């Protein structure tokens, strides 16, 4: 799995493609570029789906690659940063992605940072 993570992380910065997919023995790594209508013009996310267990994602935010694990969601897929201090959250549903961050002064509220749609290659 570490080889897959390293491959996808190499693809994140400055990726010049909309989607990239790698599959082997039921595991899969998919990198998707999103166009955003916010302070972020574009976000690239690498999604990791193992043969068993929870999925995880990696996204570059402010020059830092954030590792995120799948979390419970009512609909779509929700990922939370492995660093609880960052407060970053991703919610993906279909072709759409929303980036949130927990507010430091009130960790029960999230601030919407970006609304994005997958770019077609």
The CATH number of 2-118 is 2.40.128.200
pLDDT tens column, 47-105:
998 888 889 999 988 888 999 999 888 888 999 999 988 999 999 999 999 999 998 77
Tokens of 4: 């897959």
Flag whether pLDDT at 26 surpasses 90.
no
Q: How many CB atoms lie within 10 A of CB 45?
A: 24
Q: What pTM was estimated for this model as a whole?
A: 0.77
Domain positions in the chain are: 2-118
pLDDT tens column, 12-22:
444 444 566 77
Beta bridge partners of 101: 88, 111
Dihedral, CA atoms, 81, 15, 35, 69, nearest 10 degrees?
-20
For residue 33, the SS3 value is: strand
> At which residue do the structure tokens 């935010």 appear?
61
């Amino acid at each position: 799995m570490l080889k897959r993570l390293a491959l996808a992380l190499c693809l994140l910065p400055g990726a010049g493609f909309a989607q990239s997919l790698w599959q082997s023995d039921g595991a899969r790594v998919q990198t998707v570029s999103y166009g955003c209508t916010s302070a972020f013009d574009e976000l690239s996310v690498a999604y990791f789906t193992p043969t068993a267990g929870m999925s995880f994602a990696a996204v570059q935010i402010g020059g830092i690659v954030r590792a995120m694990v799948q979390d419970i969601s009512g609909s779509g897929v929700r990922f939370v940063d492995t660093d609880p201090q960052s407060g970053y959250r991703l919610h993906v549903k279909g072709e759409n992605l929303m980036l949130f961050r927990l507010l430091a002064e009130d960790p029960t509220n999230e601030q919407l940072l970006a609304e994005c749609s997958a770019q077609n290659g």
